[in-house]
Chain A
Amino acid sequence: MAYLGLVVLIPLSTLALKASSLSWDQFWALTTGPRALASYRLSFGTSLAAAGVNVVFGAVLAWVLVRYPFPGRSVADAIVDIPFALPTAVSGIALTALYASNGWFGGPLERLGVKAAFSPLGVGIALTFIGLPFVVRTVQPVIEELDREMEEAAAVLGAGRLQTFLRVVFPEMLPALITGFALSFARGLGEYGSVVFISGNMPGKTEIAPLLIMTRLEQYDYPGATALAVVLLLASLTILLAINRLQSFVRARGGMA
């Protein structure tokens, strides 16, 4: 356990120590400058949007993978993990090449008047890619565990398929959907490698919060980087804590039923 302390606790308490050496006014100034605010807006906005897209498509994907047998299902199932297994730098350059104006998708999109790479949309695309497995892998086991007899009972009692889904299946899936959304969102907030290539990194416009930390570090602005890191860390810890709460709440409710 000494190792745990050495590897996790000491480094993170260093961050706290460094942050506490700043006065409140300094901290406030460093974390609420226009460039910092713009980076939060971009990071939170694109992470939310990506998590939203992933909840919808991730749920459909999980449903299809569990319920519908089709040739190549186990391959499709393995592919879902690629964004998780692929080093972020590789995802970053691949997505950029794909959505740049001379890329497979970027070209056609540009003809439609949509600029994908080097815009907030590009950031959102990268975060969608990164977050997808989190939603699928959270929702999938819940669908597998669904009691089909409940659905049968609903059907026998005269409910249509849509009604059964909305009244019986969806409520069971909801906690997993929220958890998947939150995990994807939290991952998006901190993501760096897959975003820096496609974002274009224009200060105030396409600069995500982790990149601003990086920039400040490279300028040896350690107080500035620390202050931002604390904000980002608190945001992701709050989300992860909320997920834990939600899961213990669901478990408690399941225990009572």
Chain B
Amino acid sequence: MPGRSTVHLVDDPAWVRWTLTAVALGFLTLFVVAPTVLVFVEGLKRGWQVYVDALTTPEARDAIRLTLITAAIAVPLNTAFGLAAAWWITRFRWKGKTLVVSLIDLPFGVSPVISGMVTVLLFGAPGLLGPWLQAHDIRIVFALPGIVLATIFVTFPFVARELIPFLETQGTEEEEAAHILGAGGWQIFFRVTLPNIKWSLLYGVILCNARAMGEFGAVSVVSGHIRGETNTVPLYVEILYNEYSFAAAFSVASLLVLLAGVTLAAKKLVEWKARDLRRPETGSAP
């Protein structure tokens, strides 16, 4: 092990280590842990029964159902697109690639309020397609389709964003080998590419789903806040909170915190799997 003897030279002094660790963890506790813990404390303040009741009112159930439907439409669409786009971007050479990558990223850079607003501008009564839609009695804004469209826009980049860097570092050798051995395009995709990317793909899908279920700003603009009809879970949390039903608001909010917890656990899992995959490779390298 060369360099072992000089390692102590680049270690920070103990007091620096302790101070920085304390500052870092203090900041994290104050700014991130405290609000998260508070959700559960406030939700359970009035007892378990109130907590469960808040989650099982008809309005809460409607909100949960709407959120699930929205995610069930938006997530598969964006997953299919993300897969296709990532494959196309990393496996073929063509002009304008950087432009397309920036376009995919665009929804990340747009305020959620603006994301919702473009849906209203396009489909709302004074919007481009508004008069035509009205004439045909199709409701998009202030109804389920609008919520779904806004959600698709906001969650658009997640899967592609997760897959593109992964596919880039992975290279094409295995796929070329499969091609030489006579596999067709779809066969290569399902037998070689997909098994390799499954963990990144899973994480992308989970991130996409988390955002789809949790989106607030964009959905708030297009929903119209019709109780029992166009209230998603985050919007329902807002209503409860504004009505001073704090315990109920935090009970419903805790569902969304659990969703975030699942997302983070999935992230850790994917990181472990990625490390497992890398380890044998580096071990056998000459």
Question: Which residues from chain A sit less than 8 Å from chain B, CB to CB?
Answer: 1, 3-4, 7-12, 14-15, 17-18, 57, 60-61, 63-65, 67-68, 70, 74, 76, 78-83, 85-95, 97-98, 104-105, 125, 128-129, 132, 148-149, 151-152, 155-156, 161, 164, 186, 189-193, 197, 210-211, 213-214, 217, 220, 222, 225-226, 229, 232-233, 236-237, 239-240, 244
Contacts and interface: CB of A to CB of B under 8 A. Distances in A.
A90 B268 contact: no
A251 B188 CA distance: 33
B112 A70 contact: no
Contact of B39 (A65, A68, A90, A239): A90
Given A18-B121, A86-B260, A89-B234, A197 B241 contact: yes
Given A65-B24, A132-B32, A89 B216 contact: yes
Contacts of A232: 111, 114
Nearest to A197: B241
A225 B49 CA distance: 44
Interface residues of B: mostly helix, strand, loop or mixed? helix
A63 B20 contact: yes
B152 interface: yes
B153 A79 contact: no
B56 interface: no
A95 B32 contact: no
Contact of A64 (B9, B20, B114): B20
Interface stretch (B122-130, B175-183, B192-200): B122-130
Interface residues of A: mostly helix, strand, loop or mixed? helix
A192 B260 contact: no
A51 B220 CA distance: 26
A213 B27 contact: no
A98 B106 contact: no
Interface of B: 3, 6-7, 9-10, 12-13, 16-17, 20-21, 23-25, 27-28, 30-36, 38-39, 42, 77, 81, 85, 88, 100, 102-107, 109-115, 117-122, 126-128, 152-153, 156, 210, 213-217, 220-221, 234-235, 237-238, 241, 246, 249-250, 253, 256-257, 259-260, 263-264, 267-268
A211 B220 CA distance: 11
Contact of B220 (A1, A190, A214): A214
B118 A12 contact: yes
A217 B13 CA distance: 56
The 3 A-B pairs at the shortest CB distance, nearest first, are namely A87-B214, A190-B111, A155-B9
Nearest to A223: B126
Given A79-B28, A86-B36, A156-B6, A68 B121 contact: no
Contacts of B85: 1, 4
Contacts of B156: 7-8
Nearest to A83: B32
Contacts of B128: 14, 17
Nearest to A169: B10
B200 to A, nearest CB: 16
Given A11-B153, A88-B112, 11 more contacts: A11-B121, A18-B121, A63-B24, A76-B24, A86-B36, A87-B215, A94-B250, A155-B10, A213-B117, A236-B110, A244-B102
Given A61-B24, A78-B268, A189 B234 contact: no
A60 B31 CA distance: 15
Nearest to A103: B38
30 contacts: A3-B77, A3-B81, A4-B81, A10-B122, A12-B106, A12-B118, A14-B121, A63-B24, A64-B20, A65-B24, A68-B20, A76-B28, A85-B210, A88-B216, A88-B217, A89-B234, A90-B237, A93-B237, A93-B250, A93-B253, A95-B35, A152-B7, A191-B111, A193-B220, A197-B238, A217-B221, A229-B113, A232-B111, A239-B109, A244-B102
A14 B127 contact: yes
B81 A60 contact: no
Greatest chain A CB density within 10 A among B110, B128, B221 is at B110
B121 A189 contact: no
A8 B117 CA distance: 13
B36 A82 contact: yes
A104 B110 contact: no
Given A14-B122, A94-B38, A222-B126, A192 B111 contact: yes
Given A89-B237, A186-B109, A217 B120 contact: yes
Contacts of A190: 109-114
A84 to B, nearest CB: 9
Contacts of B235: 89
Nearest to B36: A82
Given A213-B114, A236-B111, A86 B28 contact: no
A98 to B, nearest CB: 6
A226 B221 CA distance: 13
Contacts of B104: 4, 8
A90 B10 contact: no
Contacts of B221: 214, 217
Contacts of B25: 64, 76
